[in-house]
Structure 1
Amino acid sequence: MKSDINEVALQGIEFWSNICEEEISLSVEAEECQEHGRIPVYVSRHYARGKFLHIWTIFFAVEHENAGN
């Protein structure tokens, strides 16, 4: 996401976006399983939560830079 090459930066953003989407889906599934007394097949390892501040800081820096262009 910090790359000077726009395509590489976009790939980084897309990667973390996909991770976040998957973790949200896993969270919803875990809640549904808990409500029905089942164990979810897959569980989140909360990678995005652990890197949230780092990702958010870079994302806003990239957005701020792009807004100036």
Structure 2
Amino acid sequence: MRKHPLDLFSLIAGGLFTTIAVVYLVAALNDQTVNGRIVIPVTFIGLGLGGLAGAVAAVTRRGRTDREP
């Protein structure tokens, strides 16, 4: 099986949405509510940080492959 490069943005986005789903599930099981005024901005901040991390990783990876030893 061929190894592929890590897609950091997709990994962070998947983890973030999984965490949000678990928070809502636990809140529903405990008869609690989740404040959407907090969840939505935190989601956007997390996606922004994931995009930034993915971009930095891509630039770093691209810079490494351009150099010849």
TM-score (norm 2): 0.45
Using the size of structure 1 for normalisation, the TM-score is 0.45
Q: Whose relative contact order is higher, 1 or 2, with alpha carbons under 8 Å and at least 6 apart?
A: 2
